[in-house]
Structure 1
């Protein structure tokens, strides 16, 4: 019988999937994949702590918008830009108005079409603007905001990989991780990330958790639409979910009451 993966293999897979950290690979199977997708928000929180530190350090030396741009550049570097690439490919496929295999074929193309470019511009502009606003807050609030938003984006992946959500293709990342996450991990993750977000808006502690929960609710609706259009999830869909949830969470954290 083939050897089964160990709990540490899931953690290593989560780190190598969501960051560029040079962690030695372990055994990769659907059991390890399920653990990795369940741990995605924790890896996101650690990444968010690094990015929050970058934003604080940059804001001490440069104007807020410059600090935001540096932080976004580091975010792309530390994730290989995979989530941004997934967003562009997914939006291009949606913009084609095609379904199933025809839409998936568009997603596989290496070029980026006008819909994908527009999506990248809008998402990065919104993220830059919100990070610039957050940079003016106290350092605990900044860290809470960036950690929560980055973790929330990866929690969107946990939701996308829950049982009952199929893969669009028989191979690739989507096929490996689709349906591997049980019902407990998304609930625990949502509670944990919402709690992290409470400190992002000190004078309105309810705003952070609400921003996270609304963003996740949007992600659930988006996933249903993507599954109808493509037949299931792919690695690109997961990347798109990360960027959409992260952006919406940032936006929710800076809206005035």
Structure 2
């Protein structure tokens, strides 16, 4: 479990940790289950940036942009890179090999740039709206943590991988479906508590979770249809899209 914890923190955050002593699915599977817990410091960072900006009387949109920027720095923009590469790959060609080759290059094309602008725009706009709530910054931090539960779906057993090599191959099929379901049940309870914290009705929590799961299911389904399976880039895209869905539904 120590190796899995190091794996999760080292992969999903910029927090320096010792590398795991061993790899394989025995480590990567639990690491993906621990993903929401591993990014608690990033959720706290977002909440504190939002709180500080609000207390200083700064423009909500600017504060939200700063918080999203801090989150990107805290994850080395790893997931944003995956979002851009996934968008470029899915729009490059209907040929699977060509699409996968485009995703490997790392260059950002028109589709990738547009996806970054649109998804970050949704995140920033929704987050600025949450600043008007008394405990809105804390809810935002909770949703950042919850969004990382997306990897429990993309890494679930039964979801095929598009490649036999690459970073994503380490995680593909590493999480049992029952474990993934349990993770999301716990995240639903946490999200519901977050909405109760801001004096919203309890059903807003399950509704937000449903929105995030729907978005993740769509991107995974599209990746399987077009690419033959998921890749590490798809994992990152699912995280960013689920965060956008969670934040927007919270408004």
TM, length-normalised to structure 2: 0.93
TM superposition shift of 1:216 = 0.8
Q: Following the alignment from structure 2 to structure 1, what is the Cα–Cα distance between the partners of residues 46 and 200? A: 23
Confirm or deny that 1:115 pairs with 2:111: yes
**In the aligned structure 2, how far is the partner of 1:143 from the partner of 1:50?**
10
Corresponding residue of 2:224: 227
TM-aligned CA deviation for residue 204 of structure 1: 2.0
Alpha-carbon distance in 2 for matches of 1:59, 1:230: 43
- Cα distance, 1:99 vs structure 2: 3.4
Pairwise CA distance, 1:191: 1.6
1:17 aligned partner: 11
Structure 1 segments, 4+ long, off by >6 Å, are none
1:114-133 → structure 2 map (5 Å cutoff): 114-133=110-129
Q: CA deviation at 1:205?
A: 2.2
User: 2:44 matched to which residue of 1?
Assistant: 49
Decide whether the 8 Å contact of 1:91 with 1:116 is kept in 2: yes
2:185 is aligned to 191
Counterpart pick for 1:29 among 24, 30, 49: 24
RMSD: 1.4
Q: Does the Cα contact within 8 Å between 1:89 and 1:106 map onto a contact in 2?
A: yes
Aligned to 1:3: none
After superposition, the C-alpha distances for 1:87-128 in whole angstroms (9 at most, x for unaligned) are 001001111232321110010123211111110000111111
Query: What is the CA–CA distance in structure 2 between the aligned matches of 1:185 and 1:53, rounded to whole Å?
Result: 31
What SS does structure 1 have at the residue aligned with 2:98?
helix
Deviations 1:124-152 (A, max 9, x none): 1111111111111112x4312331x2133
Any residues of structure 2 matched to 1:172-251 within 5 Å, and which?
172-198=166-192, 199-200=194-195, 201-251=198-248
* CA–CA separation in structure 1 for the residues paired with 2:95 and 2:44: 39
Per-residue Cα deviation, 1:195-237 (whole angstroms, up to 9, x for no partner): 2222335232211221112211221132011112111111111
CA distance in 2, matches of 1:47, 1:195: 20
Using the size of structure 1 for normalisation, the TM-score is: 0.91
* Inter-partner Cα distance in structure 2 for 1:97 and 1:215: 27
Cα contact 2:147–2:239 (8 A) shared by 1? yes
The counterpart of 2:82, out of the listed 77, 80, 86, is 86
Q: 1:64 aligns with which of 60, 63, 66?
A: 60
Cα distance in 2, alignment partners of residues 203 and 111 from structure 1: 42
Residues 46 and 137 in structure 2, CA contact (< 8 A), matched pair in contact too: no
Within the candidate set 154, 162, 166, 2:156 is matched to 162
